[in-house]
Structure 1
């Protein structure tokens, strides 16, 4: 089944607003089906379920997994904990409570897909990696395993308040706060926004769009975290501060040349996982920068290296 063959299911309604997910089904088979939640990137302010990498989706389908790619409400109208994290945790609860199974039954009718609820995994790229990690704590029943691709963490690090000259150089001098702050007027809170950061055909930011201009200006000025979570209580949202012996098995993939989420942040996360005795692994992809999933070619060395994250999940008991 190619990536385009999916169906959409609403997993949460908040204040009358529907929040949905794209569901991709593998070929029918005997036995129960693993499900993986595949969360898009976008600095918590951009992106959509349509922007996940289709080759990675197909890889999961070829393993016989059901792929659930959720949308989530975008910051800054909602904060990180209430919006992106809260929605993704609601998606996980929806799966555990039988919502995904019911949605599949309605869609397929004569074909049965029975879920293996002991093997629900989470995967995400960039901010989606953070959200995948947030399904390992703060929930009644965590996921069984996590694959984090260069997800932001270690929110107390000085990097998160540092300017990024390369991003600032992209911004147009004519961009005003009045123009960019139009994002606060969006009603309802959007669940889609911006160009693809991780899909097959990434585009450049469109600075005629207030949301894209707003997000990139916050990234360049080192103000992402204060924008998406002004409360600043990092214990609530920082995966690094929530690592303990019961944290799910976790695999990390990160490019060595990442300037937008430096690899040292993931190295600190990996060290915390090891110290806590959590089953874990990490691959450092030489020469790759941020959002390299958008440029991968199937069969390349980078493709082979990042597949180790899915192999790690597949081999969990």
Structure 2
């Protein structure tokens, strides 16, 4: 595959990041007396590869005051279509809520598809989790209670972390791409044309320059074995951790059917899972920032938590706590 010029790729990453990073509220309002979290920035969990890049860094957000006992850890990874190495930048949106509700938050970056091809991103998140486990005592969290959350390509990374034996206890997936070869047939009417225009592509997700093709280093239609290796569905086993899936009905980048496929695979393996389908929501992190229209909820078997009208931060926190007690 011939990669696009770096300037075009960076522009594509910037446009995708703009789509993904609308300013979000960090949960319920806090009082003026609430102190901000303690922050440790740019901690290297591995050497920079290549030098001068940032996909080996993480940030940690601790509650303002030390807790009497170690807290659970929420690992957060933002999406960029795998075109950027700044995934830890999503964590500040969630940290104020979660650190004031008994969590430590880690924002984790992984390398971009320009810097390494799959499975490099999975290797990165696994290395980050090992580093976090080894350093839990320094940062006041319990390595036996770790969960991962990500949106879009960050949601894919979170799922791969959860399904590859890292020991995380729960996964929260916001509209992740799952089966690359089945994305285009399920795109909403007109979405592929808009996708092509916005990102200067010629064949939607099947384009040789699409995010998925860039991740794998080959046009996805030409390398089905690599596509299968990157498909979280093939890594689902009955021992997988509980998963919460959140996806909007109007997503024009990753079709809703991708999350349906994941939910069905989890159900077939008897993995505890909760699937929130949010009417009218697009490919946007605001989907969990504040309540909206009543969502549709499905569970595999008995849900870990009662149904909620909308998957807010409070609902996510309750799901994680329930998963930690299994």
Cα distance change, pair 7–93 in 1 and its aligned pair in 2 (3 A): same
Aligned pair count reads: 258
Mapped to 2, the partners of 1:219 and 1:75 lie a distance apart of 19
Q: TM-score, normalised by structure 2?
A: 0.71
Mapped to 2, the partners of 1:128 and 1:297 lie a distance apart of 17
2:156 pairs with 1:150:
no
Alignment of 1:173-184 (within 5 A): none
Q: TM-score, normalised by structure 1?
A: 0.73
The offset of 1:2, in angstroms, is 3.1
What is the match of residue 229 of structure 2? Answer: 236
What is the match of residue 271 of structure 1? Answer: 264
| The one of 60, 64, 77 aligned to 1:23 | 60
Mapped to 1, the partners of 2:312 and 2:114 lie a distance apart of 31
2:49 pairs with 1:44:
no
Cα distance change, pair 13–100 in 1 and its aligned pair in 2 (3 A): farther
The offset of 1:147, in angstroms, is 0.5
2:99 pairs with 1:99:
no
> Which secondary structure does the structure 2 equivalent of 1:166 belong to?
helix
Cα distance change, pair 99–220 in 1 and its aligned pair in 2 (3 A): farther
What is the match of residue 59 of structure 1? Answer: 97
Alignment of 1:86-125 (within 5 A): 86-96=123-133, 98-102=134-138, 104=139, 113=140, 115-125=141-151
Whether the 8 Å CA contact 2:79–2:151 is kept in 1: the answer is yes
The offset of 1:224, in angstroms, is 2.2
Cα distance change, pair 133–304 in 1 and its aligned pair in 2 (3 A): same
Mapped to 2, the partners of 1:137 and 1:217 lie a distance apart of 33
Whether the 8 Å CA contact 1:3–1:54 is kept in 2: the answer is no
What is the match of residue 47 of structure 2? Answer: 13
What is the match of residue 177 of structure 1? Answer: none
Mapped to 2, the partners of 1:60 and 1:260 lie a distance apart of 28
Q: Which runs of 4+ in 1 moved over 6 A?
A: 160-163
Alignment of 1:116-135 (within 5 A): 116-135=142-161
Query: For each residue in 1:212-231, what CA deviation from the matched residue of structure 2 results, as whole angstroms up to 9, or x when unmatched?
Result: xxxx3459742322221036
* C-alpha RMSD of the superposition: 2.8
2:280 pairs with 1:280:
no
Whether the 8 Å CA contact 1:35–1:68 is kept in 2: the answer is yes
> Which secondary structure does the structure 2 equivalent of 1:253 belong to?
strand
2:249 pairs with 1:256:
yes
The offset of 1:281, in angstroms, is 0.4
> Which secondary structure does the structure 2 equivalent of 1:134 belong to?
helix
What is the match of residue 108 of structure 1? Answer: none
| The one of 115, 119, 138 aligned to 2:164 | 138
Which structure carries more relative contact order (alpha carbon 8 Å, separation 6+)? 1
| The one of 189, 195, 215 aligned to 1:167 | 195
Whether the 8 Å CA contact 1:252–1:282 is kept in 2: the answer is yes
What is the match of residue 305 of structure 1? Answer: 311
Query: For each residue in 1:180-215, what CA deviation from the matched residue of structure 2 results, as whole angstroms up to 9, or x when unmatched?
Result: xxxxxxxxxxxxxxxxxxxxxxxxxxxxxxxxxxxx
Mapped to 2, the partners of 1:156 and 1:56 lie a distance apart of 32
Cα distance change, pair 117–53 in 1 and its aligned pair in 2 (3 A): closer
> Which secondary structure does the structure 1 equivalent of 2:46 belong to?
strand
Cα distance change, pair 28–242 in 1 and its aligned pair in 2 (3 A): same
Alignment of 1:192-231 (within 5 A): 216-217=199-200, 221-222=204-205, 223-230=210-217
